[in-house]
Amino acid sequence: MQKQDHLLPKPWPESPPIYDIEKSYLDNAQRGPFFSGKFPPRQINPKEAWVDFLGHQISSPLGVPAGPLLNSRWVLFAANMGFDIVTYKTIRSKPKAAHPLPNMVYVKTDRFLHKDDQHQPISQTLFPPLTMEQLALTNSFGIPSFDRDFLVEDIAKAQGGLNPGQVMIVSFVGTPRDGEDFEKDFAEAAAIALDGGATILEADLSCPNVSSCEGSLFTDPGAIYRIARHIKKLNPTIPLVIKVGVVGETAKLREVMRAAARGGVDAICGINTMSMRVVKDDGTPALGKDRISAGVCGGPIREVALEFLRWARTINCEENLGLTILGTGGVTKAEHFDLFFDAGADVAMTALGMMWDPYLATRYHLRRKNERCRS
């Protein structure tokens, strides 16, 4: 590695993750991140080298997607670790508790996963991986959310604590309830984000750990268009991102991206985790009988994410849609960010990688600095 990298703590398994999978979601939210290291020094790029992201000038196009940044403390932790595009954990219009433990368990696979592996079984392992490259876990929380008053205050706190050259996205999702308009509820959740001062919104259309109508919206062009229109009516000047999952065919992704652009969407982020049946060695559900499937994240899903980016970039250019493309899924080492940029991402993001190696962005910044010095 580059010469300064030896000054940083070694990643997993030498250093523990900042999220404790043995503790509840609430414990992690209230007491985490579990971090005893030092914040790394950061030499901010000169402003003339900053890049535009949805109308905001940012120091670098590295980010954290919706998921691990549970509140303002987590958001500002990631920002101080060198991630310049941070996403506030997905919120709802009304409070909702997290799934009970377990929420994250290690899974084992000896290969990169393929999009056709969705909904297939994958085995839990009680023996954590030995390298960041092999890192793979489930993600099964059910999109918990705090109450409106807390969220408005906490989003404002996170927004106000960012460094120059950084920006925050606030993720949100609609909740199906009897007698209520599910699609309009996206706008209700977005309104909370806006009341907190959000400057970029993200509609999560792809969580694999909730009911089917919440988790599969990204495959429904009509729903995408309608939801986007509901949200854009709140404030048409605020950029809107949609988060999508694994789309099996390019033709379907083309329909999705066309509908998004027609609805006023400014950016698309993918992929979310891969939905798979997580089982113990005896074949029984690892997370309990009520949660047969869960999202799998980590290194093994990287090739699926890269394929999505190549498709999305091609479609974006062919259709002249003008969408900004955010890539996530499988970035667990610093060199993986460049794979995402090469595949077509305007922004490269990591969730699990950041949780298991909080210095991941710093390692990348050091690599780039050394490359510039040699050139």
**Residues catalogued as catalytic:** 207
* Chain mean position to CA 121: 23
Token reading at 33:
């991140």
Q: What is the dihedral of CA 64, 269, 174, 24, to 10 degrees?
A: -30
Token reading at 113:
């996963």
The Cα–Cα gap between 18 and 35 comes to 6
What is the end-to-end Cα distance of the chain in Å, rounded? Answer: 17
The Cα–Cα gap between 102 and 234 comes to 37
To which residue do tokens 């394929």 refer?
307
Long-range contacts of 112-115 (CB under 8 A, 24+ apart): 112/300, 112/301, 112/302, 112/303, 112/304, 113/274, 113/296, 113/300, 113/301, 113/303, 113/304, 114/303, 114/304, 115/246, 115/248, 115/274, 115/304, 115/307
Residues forming a β-bridge with 51: 58
234 Cβ partners below 8 Å, 6+ apart? 187, 190, 191, 194
Residues forming a β-bridge with 285: 279
Paired sense of beta strands 267-270 and 274-279, if any: unpaired
State the Cα angle at 243 between 278 and 105, rounded to 5°. Answer: 25
